[in-house]
Amino acid sequence: MSDSTIRIGLVLPDVMGTYGDGGNALILRQRLRMRGYDAEIVDITLSDPVPDSLDVYTLGGAEDSAQRLATRHLAKYPGLQRAAERGAPVLAICAAIQVLGNWYETSSGERVDGVSMLDVTTSPQEKRSIGEVITKPLIDGLTAPLSGFENHRGGTTLGSSASGFARVTHGVGNGVGDGFEGVVQGSVIGTYMHGPALARNPELADLLLMRALGVNELEPLHLPEVDKLRKERLAIR
């Protein structure tokens, strides 16, 4: 049992929760509890300042109008930025990549400044990317293929300070022809994978937890239903 409660920040679920990505926070909490840790989810809504003291943060997908609200809130209350600067792990899903980037263009062509936690820019693409995506991770600590469901029209270009999270083997990914899916910069991991992503990719969930806990390994969890889900999803081509 841990000496203190691990706090998982679910950032702006009221506007950044279109695709059920709040499930990522539930998965982190459950994987901690199954290992004997005390864990709680802290909902951070538009009514709340963003605390910089939590152990791990997750953000989900959204539509254009909700993205603007989220961007303004994170700029006004920069607790997430401060947390990332000290090394707290952050998982940003889909539109959250765009909000955390330098700027993004809406479907109407309006350019909106992001909060610049990620050195990326995003512009609408002619064709929407919808369907299964399978990738090979490009960061230390991940070895298993990743899978998710992508549903976006954004084309995300990585700047010099950002790196690709994974290499696409099936699907579209970032949508700009560079073969990358997602982005990594500092303690922030961004991906277009819905699903929720951590339900499909337990190795990624545990990487975030190890970083949050400051440990190099965790007790393995034997979950046959997760293995079955992964086998099913990774078989799609």
Among candidate residues 73, 94, 170, 222, the one labeled active-site is 94
Strand order in the sheet with 39-44: 39-44, 6-11, 56-59, 90-93, 188-191, 183-185
User: 23-33 and 202-213 are packed helices; what angle lies between their axes, rounded to 10 degrees?
Assistant: 70
Does 86 show up as a binding residue in the annotation? no
- Active site (annotated) includes residue 170: no
Check the CA dihedral 60-62-68-73 and report its sign: negative
- Active site (annotated) includes residue 94: yes
Q: In angstroms, how far is CA 20 from the centroid of its own chain?
A: 12
Among candidate residues 73, 170, 194, 222, the one labeled active-site is 194
What is the distance between the alpha carbons of residues 32 and 89, in angstroms, rounded to a whole number? 15
Q: Name 147's bridge partners.
A: 134
What is the distance between the alpha carbons of residues 125 and 10, in angstroms, rounded to a whole number? 29
Query: With contact defined as beta carbons under 8 Å apart, do 4 and 187 qualify?
Result: no
Q: Which residues line the annotated binding site for substrate?
A: 128
Q: Which residues line the annotated binding site?
A: 128
Residues with active-site annotation: 94, 194
